Structure 1
Amino acid sequence: MSATELALAMTQAAAEAAADKLGTDLMAFDVTEQLAITDVFLLATAANDRQVGAVVDAIEERLREDFDARPVRREGDRENRWVLLDYLDLVVHVQHTEERAFYALERLWRDCPRVELAVEEGR
């Protein structure tokens, strides 16, 4: 079983929103085979705390506008070092550069299929 079309569409929209706010190192993984709780993990990096907040806000706005979706859970927004947005089918991790390097979530999920993102970073 693989990620639903809705999860993939939301992932693409979230990645575009992140790129619009200069989010980098965008990666998505189809985790349906490993986890029963979600379909896709999207990882994004931001250069500083304020940018983490801007990327998170842009993702939330885009998914609310395009899919009428709101996160069921939002964690880490006080420090803006690592913010998690849980949309059930999609979990978004927006991390400060240092947290992304230290935790290296992409290593944890490297055995999962990558979701191709049609996004131009650094626009």
Structure 2
Amino acid sequence: MTASAEARETALIAAQAAADKLATDVSIVDVSERLAITDAFVLASAPSERQVQSIVDEVEERLREHGVKPVRREGVSEARWVLLDFVDVVVHVQHAEERAYYALERLWKDCPVIPFVDRAAPAEAGTAETPAEAPAEGAAPDSGAADPSAR
């Protein structure tokens, strides 16, 4: 069994909300085959308690706009590791130190990852050749260096 379509959509909305508030290492893990209590975890990090809280607020607001409210909130007062339970999706927003220490990805490494691409992020560097890197039209790709084995 994989995460329901509704859980996947909720997780993607939460992940994008976190990314919009500059969360780092945003990922979604499909835990539906391992846990009966939820379908997916959204994991996100921030370098400060203030940013953790900002991310949490944005996730809650964005999901509230879609008619989804958390049934449980944990860790909000400390803002080091905040857990938002939306039943089918559990959002973990962690301070970067907690994220490294607890390493939830390692704990759930056998579970599939639900692909998430930040819509607001610039295109990946290195996906397009710059004019300096592109070979001249009609030239061999490695025409700049002689191949010693060709002698």
SS in 1 for 2:114: coil
Compare relative contact order (CA 8 Å, sep 6+) and give the higher one, 1 or 2.
1
More helix by percentage: 1
Counterparts of 2:107 and 2:119, CA distance in 1: 25
For residue 28 of structure 1, what is the aligned residue in structure 2? 28
For residue 11 of structure 2, what is the aligned residue in structure 1? 11
Ranges in structure 2 where 5+ consecutive residues have no aligned partner: 123-151
Counterparts of 1:110 and 1:120, CA distance in 2: 25
Deviation at 1:122, TM superposition (A): 6.0
Q: Which has the larger radius of gyration?
A: 2
Ranges in structure 1 where 5+ consecutive residues have no aligned partner: none
1:5-55: CA deviation from partner (whole Å, max 9, x where unpaired)? 110001111011001100010111111110000000110001100000000
1:44-55 equivalences in 2 (<5 Å): 44-55=44-55
* Aligned structure 1 segments of 4 or more residues deviating by more than 6 angstroms: none
Given the two structures, how large is their TM-score scaled by the length of structure 1?
0.95
Deviation at 1:121, TM superposition (A): 6.9
1:99 aligns with 2:98: yes
Distance 1:93 1:121, change over 3 A: farther
SS in 2 for 1:85: strand
For residue 114 of structure 1, what is the aligned residue in structure 2? 113
Q: Is the 8 A contact 1:13 1:62 kept in 2?
A: yes
Amino acid at match of 1:2: T
Amino acid at match of 2:54: A
For residue 75 of structure 1, what is the aligned residue in structure 2? 74
Counterparts of 2:89 and 2:108, CA distance in 1: 15
Alpha carbon RMSD of aligned pairs, Å? 1.2
Percent identity reads 57
Amino acid at match of 2:64: R
For residue 86 of structure 1, what is the aligned residue in structure 2? 85
Counterparts of 2:36 and 2:120, CA distance in 1: 30
Deviation at 1:119, TM superposition (A): 1.4
Given the two structures, how large is their TM-score scaled by the length of structure 2?
0.78
Amino acid at match of 2:19: A
Number of aligned residue pairs: give it: 122
SS in 2 for 1:25: strand
